Amino acid sequence: MTSVSIQNLDLNFGSVNVLKQLNLSIEEGEFLVLLGASGCGKSTLLNCIAGLLDVSDGQIFINGKNVTWAEPSERGIGMVFQSYALYPQMTVKGNLSFGLKNARMPKQEIEARVARAAEILQIEPLLDRKPGALSGGQRQRVAIGRALVRDVDVFLFDEPLSNLDAKLRAELRVEIKRLHQKLGNTMIYVTHDQVEAMTLADRIAIMRGGLVQQLASPDEIYNRPANKYVADFIGSPAMNFFEGQIDADGKFNVGKLTIDLKNYDFADGTAKGEHWLGYRPEHVVLGEAALSMPVHVEAVADIVEPMGSDTLIWTKIEGHDFRIRTDGQQKVAAGDRLVVGMDPRFASIFDKTTEERV
């Protein structure tokens, strides 16, 4: 069953179209991540779903009910904010129960729900404290608890981990995932962090300029990016690109390098003319093994960045910057000559003008 459905959503601030004819449909129990650079409209979309922003056109359905004009509190959503947005003058308990009191819920029911949420999130000892006396991670938990007590179908997360340090962020990420598995609610999660997106999402919607660029599983997005923007956005370091031509024999030519595309999975069988060929740094093979790859070429390591677990090597191939990510145990020094092996199966090819995947 569809949990949240967005149909032809438009949002204009004055003459600026922030969201353009946006359609999105989220299944019950699904974990959807809205991912994009800042200013792409992802938070705006979330605020529209929450009812905190009025839409210019289009409709929003939650659980089959048209909520386009409904108040935020009537939509059956809970929301977790980046800055936690805990009410500073209320205790943790007060924060958790404020919404329920506004809904005029009986006292015992409030008590029961607060107790349950506190138990799930393991914040029982904190109930009588004020938010000022909590650590960042604890505040975030209370913020999640505030959504939890509402016993709603849809959870909205607006960059909930961005204010935390790297270690805590990794911990809470796992906790959110665990929470999702336990509760099975629909969750919509906005972030600009691709690691969060890849690890948490059932599906990711990559947004840019108020449009969804690609809506697919993390695996699909990583392996078969729908266009050059998505390919470039996902992956660290970013994908390498070559600008070249595909000739009549189905071979990609860039400078003196020719890449035979016969085992590339074309969407409609064939392509010709000007194209981009993208290749992920981590799919490069070096050394002896490279010689057995379908494509191999020599390059000189310009800069080597050892990072422990792996090593980044910057080279140039046919005038294009080319990054290689390799095992951290490989001993490479700047100036070394390398044999770079590639397999067209892992490549992504995009039309030169439309930048769509072919």
Partner 1 sequence: MANNAKTISASGVEPRGPKPRPMLSPRNIMIYGTLFIVAIYYALPLYVMVVTSLKGMPEIRLGNIFAPPVEVTFEPWVKAWAEACTGLNCNGLSQGFWNSVKILIPSAALSILIASINGYALANWKFKGSEVFFTILIFGAFVPYQVIIYPIVIILRELNLFGKLGGLVMVHVIFGMPILTLLFRNYFTSLPEELFKAARVDGAGFWGIYFRIMLPMSLPIFVVALILQVTGIWNDFLFGVIYTKPDNYPMTVQLNNIVNSVQGVKEYNVNMAATMLTGIVPLIIYFASGKLFVRGIAAGAVKG
Partner 2 sequence: MAGAKQPVRILRNLNAKIAALPMIATALVIFVGCTVWTIVHSFTKSRLLPKLEFVGFDQYERLWSTRRWLISIENLAYYGIGSLVFSLTIGFLLAALLDQKIRFENTFRTIILYPFALSFIVTGLVWQWILNPEFGIQHIVRSLGFESFVFDPLYTPDIVIFGVLIAGLWQGTGFIMVIMLSGLRGIDGEIWKAARIDGIPKWKTYLFIVIPMMRPTFVTALVLISAGIIKVYDLVVAQTNGGPGIASEVPAKYVYDAMFRSQNLGQGFAASTMMLLSVLVVLIPWAYLEFGGRKNGK
Which residues are near partner 1 by CB under 8 A? 47, 50-52, 71-74, 77-79, 81-89, 98-99, 102-103, 146, 150, 158
CB of 81 to partner 2, least distance (A): 22
Partner that binds at residue 88, options partner 1, partner 2, none, CB closer than 5 to 8 Å by kind: partner 1
Strands 240-246 and 273-279: antiparallel
Backbone angles phi, psi at 112, to 5 degrees: -65, -45
Q: Would you list the DSSP string of 320-331?
A: EEEEEEEETT--
Partner that binds at residue 208, options partner 1, partner 2, none, CB closer than 5 to 8 Å by kind: none
Q: If we measure between CA atoms, which residue out of 77, 32, 23 comes closest to residue 50? A: 77
CA–CA separation, 358 and 355 (whole Å): 9
CB of 69 to partner 2, least distance (A): 4
Partner that binds at residue 69, options partner 2, partner 1, none, CB closer than 5 to 8 Å by kind: partner 2
Both tokens assigned to 93: 């308990």
* Closer Cβ to partner 2, 70 or 295, answer by number: 70
Partner that binds at residue 57, options partner 1, partner 2, none, CB closer than 5 to 8 Å by kind: none
* Closer Cβ to partner 2, 72 or 237, answer by number: 72
CB of 49 to partner 2, least distance (A): 14
* Closer Cβ to partner 2, 67 or 299, answer by number: 67
* Closer Cβ to partner 1, 47 or 186, answer by number: 47
Interface with partner 2 by CB under 8 A: which residues? 65-70, 74
Partner that binds at residue 99, options partner 2, partner 1, none, CB closer than 5 to 8 Å by kind: partner 1
Contact 50, 76 (CB under 8 A): no
CB of 313 to partner 1, least distance (A): 43
Partner that binds at residue 272, options partner 1, partner 2, none, CB closer than 5 to 8 Å by kind: none
Look up tokens 């390398």; give the residue.
338
Both tokens assigned to 138: 């604890």
Written as one letter, the residue type at 278 is G
Partner that binds at residue 196, options partner 2, partner 1, none, CB closer than 5 to 8 Å by kind: none
CB of 230 to partner 2, least distance (A): 29
Cα dihedral 326/332/334/340 (nearest 10) = -50
CA–centroid distance for 226 within its chain: 15
* Closer Cβ to partner 1, 47 or 311, answer by number: 47
CA–CA separation, 7 and 22 (whole Å): 6
Contact 73, 27 (CB under 8 A): no
CB of 154 to partner 2, least distance (A): 15
Contact 245, 277 (CB under 8 A): no
